[in-house]
Structure 1
Amino acid sequence: MSSLPPFFAWDVSTILFFILCFFFLIMVFDKFFLAKKRSDNQYFPKGRIARIKAIFYFLGFLKFNNLEKEKGKPFLIRWALSFYPVILLVFVIRSFMFEPFQIPSNSMMPTLLTGDFILVNKWTYGLRLPVTNTKILSINEPKRGDVLVFRYPNYEGNKSRAGKDFIKRVIGIPGDKIVYKNEQLFVNGVKATYKNKGIYTGIESGDWLTGYTLLNEKTAEKNHDILVIPKKHSKDVSITVPKNKYFVMGDNRLNSADSRYWGFVPEEFIIGKAFLIWFHFDKSLKFNRLGFFD
């Protein structure tokens, strides 16, 4: 296994971060240099408490108080004042609370379909700094059965997957002994139980999966549906999950590029836990797809 690349990628949160930094630097430059040449109100209060309040207000709105007027300021300054609070709010929500993702493939069918738009809980596993993903507050750890969104670790240096976000199901946590053979899962020597739910009927972009066998896989922690093909097996594996790593697989076992092929998910590459489908569009709108899942 090759060395782990940096987490950084040019995703939406990163772009928003640099836009905010750009606006902030513009306004700092304006306050200390350009504003002296104008007659507009650049009021900065006296007194320690008042100044602290003014600084926090500036961090949120790029002005020291709500009495400052935009009239008379250069276009770029007025533009920054108008858009900065909105972008900041979106950035905070996406970075620390909830982030939307779109499912691009069939690897998590039947749980998630191509065209599902999902929400990911960003704080359930702890608070992380945007851009670097450094954890600053630990809350919970991923559990077996969680549907996990993570930055692809790209051990092999695959340029087409660099910076991509993946979604899979947690099968093994640190210390677990995982055996997957002939579509049978064993976790620490305990075999999962399976219930045949019949022949699967594919939907829209996944219609080619019609004829697969739909199974319910039940472990000690959770049960969920998976897709397999009778008399045809996906990749087998027998491995122990290292410290601070996670073993993940897609629910569409024969059509999922997951830990069986490229290795473990490092803890520092975890983005969050997927929990809600809020929209669906593949070849058509499907409102019956909306709701919580696990």
Structure 2
Amino acid sequence: MTGVSTPALFPRLPCSRRAATEESPPGATRRPAGRELVRGVAAAVLLFSVLRLFVVQVYGINSGSMQPTLGVGDYVVASNTVFGAPIPFTSLHLPALRQPRAGDVVVYRPAGYTPVQDHIKRIIGVPGDTVQMIRGTVFRNGRALREPYARRSTKPALPLPVQGPYNFQWQMDALAGTGDRAAYAPTPDDWGPLVVPAGRYLMLGDDRGGSVDSRHTGFVPRGEIRGRVLAVHGSADWSRIGRL
């Protein structure tokens, strides 16, 4: 490529050369560059920590319980402000913009896990709702839900255990109606109707055959809900980025 020079519009005037470093005004002291760098890094770390705790946070997905909505290896961004960000080292929360709603995909931190674990599921029932599943179809307040995001199980649904981990005894206190409770034998695809109590939420994974959720562990207390998932932040499947 041939170089082309542009003629000057004005003649070059002589000028005096300025020193590369300017003198400080009398009485002024220079701060060491290292100290300014440390202060800048500290301010950046503080800003990042505030944003992470109180505004948004990125989570990695390491299980398939929310497929096909979220895949293993995906990263999602969640808002901590919408439900009231938790205040570190306390059980308190900042004021919420709104309460969780049915259909929200949320991050919650169940008690009793060591080390601490954050789970991501979809809210199906809010306080006061009556929720039931019949042959894999969810009914809320008597109406079948249209769930294009859900993946139904293709495996035979075995009865939930009476004793031991993931037993169904918690459901007995929430059962609606006056049916024969002694004959109640729920499976992951057939259970309820259950009335969601005050301050509790019923969660399900979108992969109904591959998720451990409220069917097994019970209602989730409001205080354990930490944020609302907004969108996929990173994924090996580029078509998923920015969607939920």
TM-score, scaled relative to structure 2: 0.68
Q: Once the 2 structures are TM-superposed, how far is the Cα of residue 97 of structure 1 from its aligned partner?
A: 1.1
Shift of 1:230: 4.0
Match of 2:223 in 1: 268
- Structure 2 counterpart of 1:27: none
Q: 1:226 aligns with which of 132, 138, 150?
A: 150
What does 1:60-75 correspond to in 2, within 5 Å? Answer: 69-70=31-32
Match 1:103 to one of 61, 67, 75? 61
Matches within 5 A, 1:24-39: none
Q: CA deviation at 1:108?
A: 0.3
- Whole-Å separation in 1 of the counterparts to 2:71 and 2:93: 30
Secondary structure class of the residue paired with 1:248: strand
Q: What is the CA distance between 1:275 and its match in structure 2?
A: 1.4
Q: 1:187 to 1:83 in 2, by over 3 A?
A: same
Q: Trace 1:12-23 onto structure 2 (pairs within 5 A).
A: none
| Secondary structure of residue in 2 paired with 1:171 | strand
After TM superposition, the structure 1 = structure 2 runs for residues 148-187 of structure 1, keeping only pairs within 5 Å, are: 148-154=106-112, 159=114, 162-187=115-140
After TM superposition, which residue ranges in structure 1, 4 or more long, deviate above 2 angstroms? 67-73, 78-83, 130-133, 229-234
Counterpart contact for 1:153–1:266, Cα < 8 Å: no
Output the aligned Cα RMSD: 2.3
**Is it true that 1:83 corresponds to 2:41 in the alignment?**
yes
- Taking structure 1 as reference, are residues 71 and 141 closer, same or farther at Cα in structure 2, changes over 3 Å only? same
Residues 83-124 of structure 1: CA deviation (Å, up to 9, x unaligned): 321111111111111100011110000111101110001111
Mapping for residues 186-225 of structure 1, pairs under 5 Å? 186-192=139-145, 218=146, 223-225=147-149
Aligned to 1:124: 82
Q: How big is each residue's C-alpha offset from its partner over 1:103-159, in whole Å with a ceiling of 9 and x where there is no partner?
A: 1110000111101110001111224323435223122011101101111233xxx54
**Where does the alignment leave 5 or more consecutive residues of structure 2 unmatched?**
1-28, 158-186
Q: What's 1:287 paired with?
A: 238
Report the Cα distance in structure 2 between the residues aligned to 1:142 and 1:85, rounded to whole angstroms. 33
Percentage of matched positions with identical amino acids: 30
Structure with the bigger percentage of helix: 1
Check 1:292–1:183 CA distance in 2 against 1; reply closer, same or farther (3 A cut). Answer: same
| Amino acid aligned to 1:263 | G
Distance 1:228-1:70 versus aligned 2 partners, 3 A rule: same
Report the AA paired with residue 117 of structure 2.
K
Amino acid at match of 2:31: K
Structure whose residues are more often strand by fraction: 1
Q: d(CA) in 2 for partners of 1:292 and 1:119? A: 11
Q: CA deviation at 1:224?
A: 3.3
Structure 1 residue 237 corresponds to structure 2 residue 199: no
User: CA offsets per residue over residues 168-208 of structure 1, 9 Å max, x none?
Assistant: 0000001111112320211122222xxxxxxxxxxxxxxxx
| 1:253 alignment partner in structure 2 | 208
The Cα shift of 1:278 comes to 1.5
Q: What is the CA-CA distance between 1:268 and the residue it aligns to? A: 1.0
Residue 19 of structure 1 is matched in structure 2 by none
1:142 to 100, 114, 117: 100
The amino acid of 1:279's aligned partner reads G
In structure 1, give the amino acid aligned to 2:47.
L
Q: Could you say what secondary structure the match of 2:90 adopts? A: coil
Equivalenced residue count is 185
The secondary structure found in structure 2 opposite 1:132 is coil
Distance 1:83 1:241, change over 3 A: same
AA aligned to 1:128 is: P
